[in-house]
Chain A
Amino acid sequence: MNLSTFLKWAGPLAVAALGLGCSTTTINTTEPAVPTARRDMLADQRVTTDGSLARAVRVRGVNTATDAQGHLKVQVEVENTTRSRKSFTYRVQWFDAQGMLITLPTATAVPRALEGGEVGYITATAPTPQAKDFRILFLEPVTR
C-alpha cells in the first residue's frame, strides 16, 4: 500500500471511529401551540433535534388541568416505540402569564426509563399559581 492509498482510506476510517466514540446529544421540546391552559388534550408544538430519541420515545399527547387554587397540572403520555428498554431524562420549565421563566431550586432533570413498548406518564404540578405555560425538554442520557 503506497502512501496516497493509505491516506485515502485511513482518514475516513479514523473519522468514523471517532464518531462512534463521541456521540452528540441534543434536546427535543414539547410545548403548547396555543399558550392557554385547557382541561383536555392539548395541541402541542414540538421541536425535534434528536430524531432517534423522538422516534424511540414518542409523545402521544399532553393534557392539562387547573385546580381550585390555580396550580396548573400537566400530564404527558409517552411511548417507547422500540423493543428494548429506553432511558431518557426530562426537564419541565414553567412560564408565567408574561412568558417569563419561573426559576426554582427544585428544578432539575429527571431520569426516566421505559421498557420496550411501554406507555408511561410524566406528570408535573406547577410550583406557583403564576405558572401558566410549560415546556418539557427531553434528552438522551449523557453518561460518560
Chain B
Amino acid sequence: MPPRFRFLWPAALAALLPACSGPKTAYVEPGSSRLVTTLDQVNIQDFAQAADTMVASLIDHLINPGQLKTGVAGEPALLAISRIQNNTGQQLDTDLLVKKIRVALLRTGKVWTSTTIAFGGPEDPLAAEEQQVLRSSAAGTNRRPDYTLSGKIIEDRARAGNIRQTAHVFQLSLTKTPEGIAVWEDEKTIVKQGTRPAVGF
C-alpha cells in the first residue's frame, strides 16, 4: 500500500463512527417510531394509538351513520367527561387519552365538550361560576350534556422465562343522557413483549 493511503482506512472509520452513534439527547417527533418503549408503563404512543382507534371507531359507528344526536338543533352534540378509571399499577393522567379524543372529536365539527360539567368537578371553574350566575338570572337555562364519556384502563401482565408481556386494555363507553344508555363502546388492547425497555417499535 502506498504510504499516502496508509491513513485512509482509519480516517474512513473515524468518519463513520459519528454517523452511527446518535446524539446523547435529541428532540423526537411525538408521532414517530423512535420513542422509548417500555414494558411496565403505558407510553405516550400507546395513548395516541388508543385514542386514534377510539376516534376512528366513534366516526365509523356513531357519527357517519348519523346516530349522534344533538339536543339543540344547529349545534353539535354536547359531551361531558365522566370517570376514566385507572386500574393499572402506575399513576396515569387519563387526560393523555381523553384530551386527544376530545381534540379529534371537536375537529369533526360534530361534538363539543363541556368544561363546566365533568366528573370530579368542573375543568374550568371560572366558566362554571359564570354558568351559575346565568342560571340564577332570568336570562335562561344552561345546556345539559347529550352524552357522557366514561372508561377504564386495565393492565394485565404475564411472563414466560425471561420474556415478559404487558397488555394495556383501554375501554370506553359513550352514554346517552338522561336515558343512561351506552350508544357506543369500544376496546383497544395494546400488547408489548420483551426483556428490556427499548427505543423504537
Contact = CB atoms under 8 A, between A and B. Distances in A.
B8 interface: yes
Contact of B20 (A22, A71, A89, A109): A22
Contacts of A1: none
B131 to A, nearest CB: 27
B6 A128 contact: no
A73 B17 CA distance: 45
Contact of A105 (B32, B64, B103): B103
Contacts of B99: 105
A144 B200 contact: yes
Contact of A106 (B10, B16, B52): B52
Contacts, number: 115
B33 A89 contact: yes
Interface string A96-139: 00000000111111110000000000001101110000000001
Contacts of B6: 3-4, 7
Contacts of B20: 18, 21-22
Interface string B48-80: 110110011001100111100000000000000
Contacts of A143: 37, 198-201
Interface stretch (B104-112, B115-123, B144-152, B160-168): B104-112
A46 interface: no
B41 interface: no
Nearest to A27: B33
B103 A104 contact: yes
A67 interface: yes
B200 to A, nearest CB: 4
Contacts of A108: 30-31, 45, 48-49, 52
Contacts of B1: 4-5, 7-8
Q: B interface, by DSSP: helix, strand, loop or mixed?
A: helix
A144 B103 CA distance: 33
A99 to B, nearest CB: 18
Interface residues of A, number: 38
Nearest to B19: A22
B9 A139 contact: no
B3 to A, nearest CB: 8
A80 B23 CA distance: 34
Contacts of B48: 105-108
B201 A144 contact: no
A10 interface: yes
B13 A11 contact: yes
Contacts of B138: none
B59 A125 contact: yes
Interface string A41-79: 000000000000000000000000001110101000000
Q: Which 8 A-B pairs have the closest CB atoms?
A: A11-B9, A142-B200, A108-B48, A22-B20, A106-B52, A4-B1, A125-B56, A109-B33
Given A69-B63, A69-B66, A89-B33, 5 more contacts: A106-B100, A107-B31, A108-B49, A128-B109, A144-B198
21 contacts: A3-B6, A11-B13, A14-B9, A15-B12, A18-B17, A67-B64, A68-B65, A89-B201, A105-B100, A106-B48, A106-B100, A106-B104, A107-B31, A108-B48, A109-B201, A124-B56, A125-B59, A127-B107, A129-B109, A143-B37, A144-B199
